[in-house]
Amino acid sequence: MNTHHQGLLFSDALMSEIKNRFHYVDHDIEGRERLFFDNAGGSFRLKAATEAFVRIDSLPDCPERIHALSLFLQKVQAEGTDDVRTILNARGGSVYASLTASGAMFDMVRAVTENVPGTNMVTSILEHPSSFDAMSLYAQRTGKELRVAKSNPVTGGIDVDEIVGQVDQNTCLLSVMYASNISGAKMDIEAIVKRARAIKPDLYILVDAVQHAPHGLIDLQKTPVDGINIAPYKFFGCRGSGLAWLSDRAATLPHHKLAGKKADFWDLGSSAPWQFAVVTEIVNYVCWLGSQFVRSTNRRELFVCGIDRIERHERALLARLLNGGESVAGLRTLPQVKVFLDYEDLSKRDLILAIGFDHLGHTDAVREYESRGVIVYERVASSLYSKRMLDSFSLEGAIRVSPLHCNSVADVDHFLQITREISEAFAPAAFGPAA
Ligand SMILES: Cc1ncc(COP(=O)(O)O)c(C=O)c1O
């Protein structure tokens, strides 16, 4: 149990070691000072991950040969496969390396929908289009009813009662995300899985963990689902890779595959060994972080400790963003700045905030931030990636602020100062500079 409700920061010495392990935390490619607070759109990369990508992809060898380097590549793949299981605490099942998390989700939804009996499918209004659109498409193709759980504008998430209330004996598939990439709200997946399976014990459940995986613990022994996906490029790794794990029963459902491959094999064509090398570097890093706090030779134990410390540090950054410090006002008190979907219990949130200015549009604000060396992103209702979720909260848009654990309190304070500067620059004349 995490007892630090307001989080716990890394020491200064560890913070600087952490920053050193990532590319471009404090400056951009030209060496200009920059704060990158758009990690929900693609996170800082570990130096070790990009090095592994280049090292492994430089080899011309095919992993399906008998030569020494081919055997080495097979080992890289086997270790990366084990490390996906380490991240998820998964036993058995199949690991599927796809090109994107969206691709893996569409494939999993298709396999379940086309092969598991049932007349309805259940999902939530907050899902990313990668799962929502897959659910809609296959519900339509197979003539099943799509049931969509509403969001809760107070928590910014989906209530357990609301989504479980849609499940019945005829539900073919339940698909729900671990955390919202708009509000940062974490869903109570453990309760959702338990209660949904109390209604239908053999219910198939898929989870989109793309947003949550880099920010907190996932434990499939406590939340036994049938499929779950992550995106390494949002998890300190590289783009061009989406990874999924499928339970034994889901893995053997009919799916696109070469006929000669085993029934539970999902990679279609030659998967790239670098994808696996990058996962291993991600897990190596989180374990290294864990080893700063706990002595263990067990990789999962070290990973659990590392991700828990990431979560605590990020919660402390979130508290600082919202409440500020002695010398800097937080977003909750800055005049003419609004925090949307603000929620008191930060243990229910990943490190993402949705904010807005009273007198400045979201897209213009993003440009103002950039001209001051800060990268954030606007989520507006005209975007296919945001409309459904924003509408569900009756929001027209927001500026999404998503730092990462490799940011420091000084980075957050710098962001708060710039936010104050922007709010003052766009204050109506009569209002005067913000107090
Ligand atoms: C919550 C969530 N799920 C799924 C995805 C899809 O990831 P990809 O674009 O790699 O397919 C994203 C990407 O933004 C996401 O934020």
pLDDT digits (tens, 9 = 90+) for 120-167: 999 999 999 999 999 999 999 999 999 999 999 999 999 999 999 999
Question: Does the beta carbon of 102 sit less than 6 angstroms from any atom of ligand 1?
Answer: yes
End-to-end alpha carbon distance in the chain = 40
Q: Ligand 1, closest atom to CA 102?
A: 11
Question: Does the beta carbon of 350 sit less than 6 angstroms from any atom of ligand 1?
Answer: no
Q: Is pLDDT above 80 for 395?
A: yes
Do the beta carbons of residue 101 and residue 242 sit within 8 Å? yes
Do the beta carbons of residue 178 and residue 209 sit within 8 Å? yes
Confidence at residue 259, expressed as pLDDT on a 0 to 100 scale: 96
Confidence at residue 292, expressed as pLDDT on a 0 to 100 scale: 98
CA distance 405 to 344: 20
Confidence at residue 89, expressed as pLDDT on a 0 to 100 scale: 98
Which has the closest alpha carbon to 205: 92, 121, 126, 145?
121
Question: Does the beta carbon of 231 sit less than 6 angstroms from any atom of ligand 1?
Answer: yes
For the domain spanning 79-284, the CATH number is: 3.40.640.10
Q: pLDDT per residue over 197-243, tens digit each?
A: 999 999 999 999 999 999 999 999 999 999 999 999 999 999 999 99
Do the beta carbons of residue 285 and residue 21 sit within 8 Å? yes
Confidence at residue 5, expressed as pLDDT on a 0 to 100 scale: 76
Question: Does the beta carbon of 229 sit less than 6 angstroms from any atom of ligand 1?
Answer: no
Do the beta carbons of residue 129 and residue 384 sit within 8 Å? yes
- What 8-state DSSP symbol labels residue 207? E
Q: Ligand 1, closest atom to CA 127?
A: 1
Q: Which two tokens stand for residue 225?
A: 């689902």
Confidence at residue 430, expressed as pLDDT on a 0 to 100 scale: 53
Question: Does the beta carbon of 81 sit less than 6 angstroms from any atom of ligand 1?
Answer: no
pLDDT band at 431 (very low <50, low <70, confident <90, very high): low
Q: pLDDT per residue over 242-256, tens digit each?
A: 999 999 999 999 999
Average pLDDT, the chain: 96
Q: pLDDT per residue over 356-382, tens digit each?
A: 999 999 999 999 999 999 999 999 888
Q: Is pLDDT above 50 for 389?
A: yes
Pocket test for ligand 1, best of 186, 210, 350 (most atoms within 8 A of CB): 210
Q: Which two tokens stand for residue 324?
A: 């500020």
Question: Does the beta carbon of 155 sit less than 6 angstroms from any atom of ligand 1?
Answer: no
- State the average pLDDT over residues 284-289: 99
Among protein residues, the one whose CA lies closest to atom 7 of ligand 1: 101
Amino acid occupying residue 297: T
Q: Is pLDDT above 90 for 432?
A: no
CA distance 80 to 95: 10
Q: Ligand 1, closest atom to CA 233?
A: 10
Q: Is pLDDT above 60 for 433?
A: no
Pocket test for ligand 1, best of 102, 175, 229 (most atoms within 8 A of CB): 102
Q: How far is the CA of 231 from the centre of ligand 1 (A)?
A: 7
Question: Does the beta carbon of 176 sit less than 6 angstroms from any atom of ligand 1?
Answer: no
Do the beta carbons of residue 362 and residue 378 sit within 8 Å? yes
Question: Does the beta carbon of 419 sit less than 6 angstroms from any atom of ligand 1?
Answer: no
Do the beta carbons of residue 290 and residue 303 sit within 8 Å? yes
Question: Does the beta carbon of 389 sit less than 6 angstroms from any atom of ligand 1?
Answer: no
Those residues whose C-beta lies under 8 Å from the C-beta of residue 18, and which sit 6 or more positions away, are 10, 289, 405, 406
Domain ranges of the chain: 12-50+302-425, 79-284
Q: Is pLDDT above 60 for 391?
A: yes
Confidence at residue 289, expressed as pLDDT on a 0 to 100 scale: 98
Q: Is pLDDT above 50 for 434?
A: no
Which has the closest alpha carbon to 106: 137, 134, 146, 132?
134
Q: How far is the CA of 242 from the centre of ligand 1 (A)?
A: 9
Question: Does the beta carbon of 112 sit less than 6 angstroms from any atom of ligand 1?
Answer: no
Confidence at residue 3, expressed as pLDDT on a 0 to 100 scale: 46
CA distance 347 to 360: 31
Q: Which two tokens stand for residue 4?
A: 């630090």
Which has the closest alpha carbon to 168: 194, 196, 140, 206?
196
Confidence at residue 382, expressed as pLDDT on a 0 to 100 scale: 83
CA distance 227 to 175: 9
CA distance 167 to 329: 45
- Largest Cα–Cα distance of the chain, in whole Å? 77
Q: Is pLDDT above 60 for 285?
A: yes
Q: Sheet containing 120-124: which strands, arranged edge to edge?
A: 94-98, 242-246, 227-230, 204-208, 171-177, 120-124, 145-149
Q: pLDDT per residue over 62-99, tens digit each?
A: 999 999 999 999 999 999 999 999 999 999 999 999 99
Confidence at residue 281, expressed as pLDDT on a 0 to 100 scale: 99
CA distance 403 to 17: 17
Domain 12-50+302-425: which topology?
Answer: Aspartate Aminotransferase, domain 1 (3.90.1150)
Those residues whose C-beta lies under 8 Å from the C-beta of residue 364, and which sit 6 or more positions away, are none
Q: Is pLDDT above 90 for 403?
A: yes
Confidence at residue 435, expressed as pLDDT on a 0 to 100 scale: 46
- State the average pLDDT over residues 310-317: 98
